[in-house]
Structure 1
Amino acid sequence: MLLDKPGEEPFEDELGEVLRRTGDLFEPIDRGELVDGAVARGRRRLARRRAAAVTGSVLALAAVGIGGAYGGGLLGASGDGESSVAAPTWSVTGGADGVVTDKDMIGILERLVPVGELIDTQARGTHERGGPSVSGVIDDGMGRAAVSVGLFRVSGAEATGQVTCPDKALVPYESCTGTTLADGSRLMIYQGYAYPGRPQDTRSRRAVLSTADGFLIDAHVYNAPMVRGSTPSRTDPPLDPQQLKELVTSDAWRRPLSQLPTTPPGEDRTGKEGGGAGIVSGWDVRNALVSLLPSGLKVSGEGYQEEYAYVVVDDGRGRSLVQINVQPGMSADVIFGEDATTLPDRTKLKTEKGPGEKGGKGVVMWTVDTVRPDGLRVVISAFNSVTQHGVATRETPALTMEQLTSIATSERWLSYS
């Protein structure tokens, strides 16, 4: 152990749901067309980089889900119980132990689950596209419960965002704690819901370990046999926070982690996907967005991740969420079809006003979506609320459609083409 121990959905459907949930947990909101369209390409690439395991980030859109960024974490360092505990230094350097198969991954999880029997298992080995991951159902006689573990390489702000507790004002959850280990690794324990906007539904517990060596072990357990399509089978997930911590800090994961390639399949070493455009830094997107905001707005919250940033602004009449995605290598024909305006520089533009998509009372979403002739897509949305899960904080968003259009079409974004 890295820490001393104290005394009927197909797998790919489940994976897709988890990746969407990643956005819901670490982002303040679900982006609808913004997420499903503008972020689709980035999410697919992110899924590959993170081994496409059956896990999610607490704030992945801002980690909108347990996947946001305040000072490196999408939704910010608001975790409780900050402390440092002793743990031996762990360094993975290998590749010599041979391929870790899907059966090996299942065997590891079976050995590490401390209660009941692990059934309905599915996994990927280190040689498979997407990287190592394993999932199953824990049957301890008190209600079947889904469990999953994914292994990834991470670095920089992405790593920090995965182990930074979300802002509770933006993402509803029961508790979240962050612990720094003696070797510099970071452990986060999250207890909340599979769908933060619907706390009456499936409950989730999650443990994430980000090592100082650039690896991430991400484990989820639920109180239902499937994350969606089934009702809760028990009050609480079968693994408590201590058991989840022991699960992710086990040295049993060393061998599969040592097999993770430096460059994931399908992505070259320049950070480009299939020879296409490069990845845009979330920090750069954040800086550009803040510089382009109209005067008179106070920024009271912010977050970022790859190709995405958000700010919460206040003009004295209530707080308003603004979020933006910047993605090179997109196709206007695929995104818009013929339903778009062509600007003089041949940029395709589409605007839309509509309700929020998470059921927040009175929440509206204003969106400007653009694709330049070279394929650079900039899509920005503003809301009359801090989060779509809550209630409206004002009548309309703090930015007008004209101001959103000005930001989306700014020449500031040309450097990312």
Structure 2
Amino acid sequence: MSEPDKFEDDLLYAITRTGEGFRTEQSDLVAGGYQRGRRRWRRRSTVAVVGGAAALALVGTGAVYLTGSSPSSTATVSAAAAPSTAGGAGSATGSATPASASSASAAPAVTGDEVLAAFQALLPKGETTEAKGRGTNDGPAKGTFAGADLVFDDGHGKSLLQIGIQKHRKGQTQDRSCPDPKINRIDSCAVTTLADGSKLFLSQGYEYPDGRATTKEWLAVLTGPDGREIMMSEWNAAQEKGSPDSRPNPPLTLDQLKAVVTDKSWDRIVAALQPDGVDNSQQDPGLSLDDRKAVLAKLLPAGVTVTKIDGNEVLAEVQLAQGTTTGSLLLRVQKLVQQPGDPTTEKLFEGATVLPEGGRLKLYGPGTSNPKNQQMADLLRGDLRVMAAQGSTGKPLLTLDQLKAIATSPEWKLKK
């Protein structure tokens, strides 16, 4: 995979999450954690791809994954292989008790050692080494992530095990779907809905879906109505990559993976987490989807019409038509909440063209550092940001100059 392709893949999650936004905390992301987590997020279903440098203007949330904060330890785990707590492997439906929305800030912090202990208690008998945990009180993630990883040996070979827990805001959880086996090497995959409305994703795949190595990765992901996302991965090797296989298969069965991610012991940790992503209500410009559709109708070139618009308070995906040809547009209209001179804002619009009315404009397209030539116009005018970008579905129906005209139009005005 080329560097531009890898860069674009790394941004799929941030771009396609309905909750992705624009916030200063991103400067605190731990690079190592993001590197380890980005691969998994690439396996999500995606609804839009805007690649290259343009993604710098889109990224606003991302998964922060475990880098480890507790000392390494060695322990013997003697918990039952399939916990019998509600929602465990013995339960046909599983259950993830929702945490109240107000408990996220009120619940006491959970340390990395506590997260690690909860994880170890749910594993089969075996020895663990290189064990690390990350709690809700660890600084870089600002309380939005907890997790643990360890090397586990049940007597049949070492295996890396990882778990990560996050909580997404309402409407910002992205459903998973099974990959196309013609494209991604995978032995089994299923998505089921549990009794409480949670979605359970189970897969038996490989570290490299293209089959370049035999290392297997088995994965379980639970997404709950309360926004929780609990993800456990296991490998048949002591490292995620760069290590020889130590056993034919990872140690836990799919039922055991299900038992871990659906266990009620995670409720306390979920309650202690802060929601990740951006609170769109703080950035809502006061323009409904119908409002944005009405403004677009005035700005689109003759012959191009809006056939559908979907999205949230900030970001919309617009389906376009020109005769029998279809295309799409990504439209962001957002009220910024940063203070003037915020370093993230300044970095984002570094080198921007200053417009006569004082706004700042950045263009991405052919000839820029945009490896796949997706086109985008990004405007900052006071505390209003408007971005118009070429969508990923259909054919490009708008030129870069037309995207610029949409983004810079004075028709866009804050109502909040």
TM-score range relative to shorter protein: 0.5 to 0.7
2:360 to 348, 351, 357: 348
Give the match for residue 206 of structure 1: 219
Matched, 1:278 2:282: yes
Give the match for residue 106 of structure 1: 116
1:309-338 deviations in Å (ceiling 9; x for gaps): 445666578765644555524766422433
Question: How far, CA to CA, are the matches of 1:381 and 1:29 in structure 2?
Answer: 10
Question: How far, CA to CA, are the matches of 2:110 and 2:35 in structure 1?
Answer: 25
Question: How far, CA to CA, are the matches of 2:243 and 2:367 in structure 1?
Answer: 28
Amino acid at match of 2:150: G
Q: Say whether the 8 Å CA contact 1:53–1:134 is kept in structure 2.
A: no
Report matched runs for 1:262-301 at 5 Å.
Answer: 271=279, 278-280=282-284, 288=292, 292=296, 295-296=303-304
Q: Deviation at 1:249?
A: 0.6
Give the match for residue 150 of structure 2: 136
1:149-169 deviations in Å (ceiling 9; x for gaps): 22233343113x2x3427859
1:220 to 204, 208, 233: 233
Give the match for residue 93 of structure 2: 86
Question: How far, CA to CA, are the matches of 2:364 and 2:384 in structure 1?
Answer: 19
**More moved, 172-181 vs 284-293:** 284-293
Question: How far, CA to CA, are the matches of 1:290 and 1:226 in structure 2?
Answer: 53
1:225-270 deviations in Å (ceiling 9; x for gaps): 5556x36747765544333211101122233234335x78x99xxx
Amino acid at match of 1:165: S
1:337 to 347, 350, 359: 350
Question: How far, CA to CA, are the matches of 2:154 and 2:367 in structure 1?
Answer: 43
Amino acid at match of 1:38: A
Amino acid at match of 2:229: L
Q: Deviation at 1:350?
A: 2.4
Give the match for residue 372 of structure 1: 380
Give the match for residue 389 of structure 2: 381
Q: Say whether the 8 Å CA contact 1:347–1:370 is kept in structure 2.
A: no
2:58 to 39, 44, 60: 39
1:176-207 deviations in Å (ceiling 9; x for gaps): 533222223332335566687x6647765432
Question: How far, CA to CA, are the matches of 1:210 and 1:88 in structure 2?
Answer: 11
Question: How far, CA to CA, are the matches of 1:357 and 1:227 in structure 2?
Answer: 32
SS in 1 for 2:347: helix
Question: How far, CA to CA, are the matches of 2:243 and 2:326 in structure 1?
Answer: 35
Q: Say whether the 8 Å CA contact 1:285–1:307 is kept in structure 2.
A: no
Report matched runs for 1:239-258 at 5 Å.
Answer: 239-258=252-271
Q: Deviation at 1:348?
A: 1.7
Amino acid at match of 1:90: T
Give the match for residue 165 of structure 2: 151
Question: How far, CA to CA, are the matches of 2:32 and 2:412 in structure 1?
Answer: 35
1:11-43 deviations in Å (ceiling 9; x for gaps): 9433212554465333353633233x2234x22
Quote the RMSD (CA, aligned, Å). Answer: 4.9
Q: Deviation at 1:346?
A: 2.0
Percent identity for Structure 1 against Structure 2: 27
Q: Against the structure 1 CA distance between its residues 326 and 225, is the aligned structure 2 distance closer, same or farther, given a 3 Å change threshold?
A: farther
Q: Against the structure 1 CA distance between its residues 259 and 299, is the aligned structure 2 distance closer, same or farther, given a 3 Å change threshold?
A: same
Q: Deviation at 1:374?
A: 1.8
Q: Against the structure 1 CA distance between its residues 110 and 378, is the aligned structure 2 distance closer, same or farther, given a 3 Å change threshold?
A: same
SS in 2 for 1:406: helix
SS in 2 for 1:14: helix
Question: How far, CA to CA, are the matches of 2:252 and 2:66 in structure 1?
Answer: 17
Higher Cα Rg, which structure: 2
Amino acid at match of 1:345: E
Q: Say whether the 8 Å CA contact 1:153–1:214 is kept in structure 2.
A: yes
Q: Say whether the 8 Å CA contact 2:354–2:360 is kept in structure 1.
A: yes
Give the match for residue 60 of structure 1: none
Aligned length: 342
Q: Say whether the 8 Å CA contact 2:51–2:372 is kept in structure 1.
A: no
Q: Against the structure 1 CA distance between its residues 231 and 346, is the aligned structure 2 distance closer, same or farther, given a 3 Å change threshold?
A: farther
Question: How far, CA to CA, are the matches of 2:290 and 2:157 in structure 1?
Answer: 44
**Structure 2 residues without counterparts, runs of 5 or longer:** 1-28, 68-90
**Structure 1 residues without counterparts, runs of 5 or longer:** 1-10, 56-83, 387-392
Q: Say whether the 8 Å CA contact 2:220–2:233 is kept in structure 1.
A: yes
2:31 to 13, 22, 39: 13
Q: Say whether the 8 Å CA contact 2:191–2:200 is kept in structure 1.
A: yes
SS in 2 for 1:16: helix
2:43 to 25, 43, 59: 25
Amino acid at match of 2:170: G
> Which TM-score applies when normalising by structure 2?
0.62
Q: Against the structure 1 CA distance between its residues 166 and 278, is the aligned structure 2 distance closer, same or farther, given a 3 Å change threshold?
A: farther
1:333-383 deviations in Å (ceiling 9; x for gaps): 422433x3222322222223249999xxxx942322423232444444326
Q: Say whether the 8 Å CA contact 1:23–1:30 is kept in structure 2.
A: no
Question: How far, CA to CA, are the matches of 1:181 and 1:356 in structure 2?
Answer: 47
Amino acid at match of 1:404: L
2:200 to 173, 182, 187: 187
> Which TM-score applies when normalising by structure 1?
0.61
Question: How far, CA to CA, are the matches of 2:158 and 2:313 in structure 1?
Answer: 36
Q: Against the structure 1 CA distance between its residues 106 and 356, is the aligned structure 2 distance closer, same or farther, given a 3 Å change threshold?
A: farther
